Amino acid sequence: MHDVKKNDSQSKIKSLPIMLFAGTMGLGGLCAAYKKLSKIFDLPGEIFSALRTLDCTVFCLLSAFYLFKLLKFKEEVKAEFSHPIKINFFGGFIISLFLLALAYKDAPRLYYSLFYAALGLQTIFTLYVISFWIDEKFDIATLNPAWFIPVVGNLLIPIIAEKSQAIWYYFSLGLFFWIILFAVIFYRLVFYDKLADKFVPTLVITLAPPAMAFLGYVKLTEQFDAFAAILLNINVFFAALILFSYKRFIKLKFALSWWAFTFPTAASSIAFLKAYEITQSDFYLVLGVGAFAALVASILIVGFLTAKSIINGEIFSEK
């Protein structure tokens, strides 16, 4: 009996999907969005501390399990790292690390340790992924907005880092490859077969790059100019487009890709709330609070369905 349970546990770890780190991205985004909202409405700091602890706990547990998978089942990890879609979710681990650094910015030693670890990984990961895209031949059907994830990591750095000239490197990379990838992905969405149902939620990822580019640009330049307004309005447009297209989401069967609803919504909420801080426009405040409400609802729903799927073992058989 003991051997059966042990084999079952190892089988589950062997099948542990890297896409689960999209969940820690969502939790990290919730922490950051709540912190921004709490500055505006003077909300309790205890809630932020609880959210931060939850995010850290889930991230550490998931990382420990995936490290065990790496040590025990190297070929399975290698297969994920060589997969045209799954490789992008390794960026989810790095983004989660950045978000933890942001959450613990009030603890300088921990902040710098997490930030520089994530910075090193992001620098190497970006070079590797771009080389991977160039060297391999891909079917255009494998393209979906999840390909933005490695790019989003670069756009996150200026938001979290101390301002310096070197940080422009990461902002420039993120902005450049976001524009290129968007053109290619939009071409695929318009002229080729529609996305498989399980990848439809990744369309929400289109919210993240313009929101984060706006936040990074405003921090680096310390001004809300025409370019900042362009980035923010692109985010507004995609938010409106997602809402306008709600029917394509409501009948979907649950999959891990549902976590794509969370982090981009958090990024949008923070961008709108930042715009409110600068302009004092109630329009942006309504958008920011609305996006935050949608974020909380999506995390509660997707978190519940994920937990249920883990208990039933469905997560470990998802392709």
pLDDT of residue 151: 85
Phi/psi zone of residue 222: left (φ > 0), alpha (ψ -120 to 50 degrees), beta? Answer: left
User: Looking at residue 248, which CATH number applies to its domain?
Assistant: 1.50.10.150
- pLDDT value at 2 more than 70: no
Q: How far apart are CA 317 and CA 319, in angstroms?
A: 6
Average pLDDT of the segment spanning 253-263:
93
Please report which confidence band the pLDDT of residue 8 belongs to, taking 50, 70 and 90 as the band edges: low
pLDDT of residue 4: 46
Report the mean per-residue pLDDT for the chain. 92
pLDDT of residue 301: 96
User: Which of the pair, 27 or 196, is modelled with greater confidence?
Assistant: 27
Average pLDDT of the segment spanning 109-134:
96
- pLDDT value at 71 more than 80: yes
**Total count of residues recorded for the chain:** 319
Please report which confidence band the pLDDT of residue 34 belongs to, taking 50, 70 and 90 as the band edges: very high
Q: How far apart are CA 89 and CA 308, in angstroms?
A: 22
- pLDDT value at 319 more than 80: no
pLDDT of residue 7: 57
- pLDDT value at 1 more than 60: no
Average pLDDT of the segment spanning 148-169:
91
Q: What is the pLDDT of residues 226-254, one digit of tens each?
A: 999 999 999 999 999 999 998 888 888 99
Average pLDDT of the segment spanning 128-141:
90
pLDDT of residue 296: 98
Number of domains in the chain: 1
| Helix (H), strand (E), coil (C) string for the chain | CHHHHHHHHHHHHHCCCHHHHHHHHHHHHHHHHHHHHHHHHCCCHHHHHHHHHHHHHHHHHHHHHHHHHHHHCHHHHHHHHCCCCHHHHHHHHHHHHHHHHHHCCCCHHHHHHHHHHHHHHHHHHHHHHHHHHHHCCCCHHHCCHHHHHHHHHHHHHHHHCCCCCCHHHHHHHHHHHHHHHHHHHHHHHHHCCCCCHHHHHHHHHHHHHHHHHHHHHHHHHCCCCHHHHHHHHHHHHHHHHHHHCCHHHHCCCCCHHHHHHCHHHHHHHHHHHHHHHHHCCHHHHHHHHHHHHHHHHHHHHHHHHHHHHHHHCCHHHCC
Q: What is the pLDDT of residues 209-220, one digit of tens each?
A: 999 999 999 999
Distances (CA, A) of 211 to 69, 99, 155: 34, 15, 9
206 lies in which domain range? 2-317
- pLDDT value at 292 more than 60: yes
- pLDDT value at 291 more than 90: yes
